[in-house]
Amino acid sequence: PPRPKAASVLPGTLGVATADDRTMLQFRSLLHRHLARPEAAHFSYGDPQGSAGLRAEIAAYLRSARGVRCEAGQILLTSGTQQALDLVIRATLAPGDPVWIEDPGYPGARAVMEGAGLQLVGVPVDAEGLEVALGEQRAPGARAAYVTPSHQFPLGVTLSMRRRLALIDWARRAGAWILEDDYDSEFRHAGPPLAAMQGMDAAGRVIYIGTFSKALFPGLRIGYAVLPEPLLGPVLRLRSRTDRSPPTLAEGALADFLREGHFAAHLRRARRRVKAARDALVAGLRAGPLTVEPPDQGLHLIAGLPEGMEDTALVPRAAEAGLGVRALSSMCLGPARQGLVVGFSGFAPEVLESAARRFARSLA
């Protein structure tokens, strides 16, 4: 049967699942396998680091697909990117510590850092990604930097090689941590996924964070952090006090999903669907005065606005046309940039194109 869609989720909304019916049937079968022959781990509190089996499968995947240098013992399973960020920040930083954050940037990371009482230092993003030299000018003694180097959120640019090397060199000299959020690197539409920055870091200053929410579905609630050895103990102790362990039933099914090749097959199908959806969304948005280019990676795009239009005013107009968008200006710390952030995962191409075309024509 087709997967249900929440009536309140408009086409274009960010973060909608990419899993298709085949993926869901396979995952249901794997869950049934573990329920039919339940392991003892399901009946007692588990390892706060997460099951060894799933951590081994994730480590193997990250080494081959992302160029991450890691072993299963470095991986902490979490409920997603937000929990990983929260645990790492609270275990390694103190209120008042200055932290670089991309500007514009991911609102979820900003919320975690503000909640921890950190001093946010917005660092502008240009065509090469985070402007590392400006970060050093504004806060050379920052204790950490949060970046999305493979596909910057929300602008979609890639951190250049020279900037990656400069950032790693700064972190080594400053004794700072780099929080690398690799949230949707599986979805590269032109060529293979870009290698993670963590694999370039010989000094052990990069904390690599990933999630299955984008590649599979958010309801799975499984993400992970690859921790440098000195951080493993402090982060695990904090996790043990707040959340005893990840869900063992879902861990077992996901480990099998990875081990048996279902995840790789799912990604091949998902990339084809997402690319078709991207092209349909672009075609629909181009029916009006918006400036749109199809991105080479990821699950969202930026629509540029004509002079004089304000993105915050267009959000409700898009909703009236049946399209879910976010205002780019709401993701800025410094001077507001204008634009609309629109997702293209989880919806049929014709649905996205129709909604985008209605909205774009309403602006003409």
Q: What CATH number corresponds to the domain at position 330?
A: 3.90.1150.10
191 and 232 part of one domain: yes
State pLDDT tens for residues 211-226: 999 999 999 999 999 9
Point out the domain boundary residue: 193, 226, 261.
Answer: 261
Note whether 63 and 69 are within 8 A (CB): yes
72 and 218 part of one domain: yes
Total domain count, the chain:
2
Confidence of residue 2 (pLDDT cuts 50, 70, 90): very low
Q: What CATH number corresponds to the domain at position 255?
A: 3.40.640.10
State pLDDT tens for residues 97-134: 999 999 999 999 999 999 999 999 999 999 999 999 99
323 and 227 part of one domain: no
292 and 248 part of one domain: no
State pLDDT tens for residues 172-190: 999 999 999 999 989 998 8
Is 93 contained in some domain? yes
Confidence of residue 160 (pLDDT cuts 50, 70, 90): very high
Query: Helices 349-363 & 311-320, crossing angle to 10 degrees?
Result: 120
98 and 238 part of one domain: yes
303 and 330 part of one domain: yes
Looking at residue 1, what is its pLDDT?
Answer: 36
Looking at residue 221, what is its pLDDT?
Answer: 94
Domain that holds residue 208: 36-261
Q: How does the average pLDDT of the chain come out, rounded?
A: 94
Distance in angstroms (rounded) separating the CA atoms of residues 188 and 192: 6
269 and 241 part of one domain: no
What's the whole-model pTM score?
0.95
Note whether 267 and 186 are within 8 A (CB): yes
Point out the domain boundary residue: 223, 242, 261.
Answer: 261
pLDDT greater than 80 at residue 56: yes
125 and 153 part of one domain: yes
347 and 243 part of one domain: no
Is 26 contained in some domain? no
